[in-house]
Amino acid sequence: MNGLITPFTSNPFMMQALVAGILVSIACAVAGTFVIMRGMAFIGDALAHGVLPGIALAFLLGFPGIIGAAIGAVVMIGGVTVITQRSRLSSDTAIGLLFIGMLALGVVIVSRSNSFSGDLTSILFGEIMGIGISAIWIQLAATIVIGITAFICARPFLLLSFDPEQAQVAGFSQKIYHNIMLFMIATTIIVSFQTVGTLLVFGLLIAPAGAGALLARRIRGMMAWAALFGIVSVYTGLLLSYYFNLATGASIILVTTIIFFIVFTIQNAHSRRNNAQGEAAHE
């Protein structure tokens, strides 16, 4: 039992990583639930990768990476909005174009630097074991803002997810609340990249929320399950990396993916059993 607790109580870096990971899990649970409900996984993935050029430029110019990530997200969302509104192209096409363009720009920026290898690793895979107190406070503030936004906008977000036309009839602007949701997702990605990196944040955004969607029918239940699965993944991933010298961020995402498939397998087996019992009772 001590082996499950001692790594955190005896190592301040592990404890700070755990706290940061818990906050990221909660933020991703809230935002990820709406990503799953609205089928916005593609835009989530595009944002997670589309912030790369902004972060790369920030590092090269000596600015905090979070500022570059914010600029990259604004450019991404703004570009998608402009293309969608001023052309006949669908939002998926616009997202795909900006996604690949921003990713390519990020790679070009990185390739122009001779001393970017260390920074690139931290951008892609995060620095959860080197997370500082200031970053934790930023993550806490962002998580609170994300939670408040989801609470205030819960009804229009739900209507947008299930019946966008009904949202308009109820007096909620589809455009405004869609953009609010996009910025909530973007905020989650921007503040979380410092912990798990741009490549891995998408895993925490999707896998726990996906598993929660399999277990719960109400939005609060989905978020609660997603937060729980995310926290368990962070805790387990940190222990695995501590004892087996594994990449921490990748270990966390691997655990959360395994949890999803465990839940999926159990739910699938349960559904088959119920269907079989129902058919037998009908006969």
* 100 lies in some domain: yes
pTM: 0.89
Residue with tokens 């999707």: 206
* 155 lies in some domain: yes
* 283 lies in some domain: no
How does pLDDT run across 115-161, given as a tens digit for each residue?
A: 555 566 677 777 788 888 988 999 999 999 999 999 999 999 998 88
How does pLDDT run across 3-58, given as a tens digit for each residue?
A: 889 999 999 999 999 999 999 999 999 999 999 998 888 888 888 888 888 888 88
* 242 lies in some domain: yes
Q: What CATH number is associated with residue 267?
A: 1.10.3470.10
Residue 153 DSSP label: T
Instruction: Name the residue range of residue 131's domain.
Output: 2-274
Decide: residue 165, CB within 10 A, 0-12 exposed, 13-18 middle, 19+ buried. Answer: exposed
In the chain, the number of structural domains is: 1
* 282 lies in some domain: no
* 280 lies in some domain: no
Name the residue among 136, 175, 165 with its Cα closest to residue 23.
136
How does pLDDT run across 159-214, given as a tens digit for each residue?
A: 888 888 888 888 888 889 988 998 999 999 988 877 777 777 888 999 999 999 99
Question: Tell me, what amino acid is at 281?
Answer: A
* 91 lies in some domain: yes
Cα 161 from chain centroid (whole Å): 18
* 279 lies in some domain: no
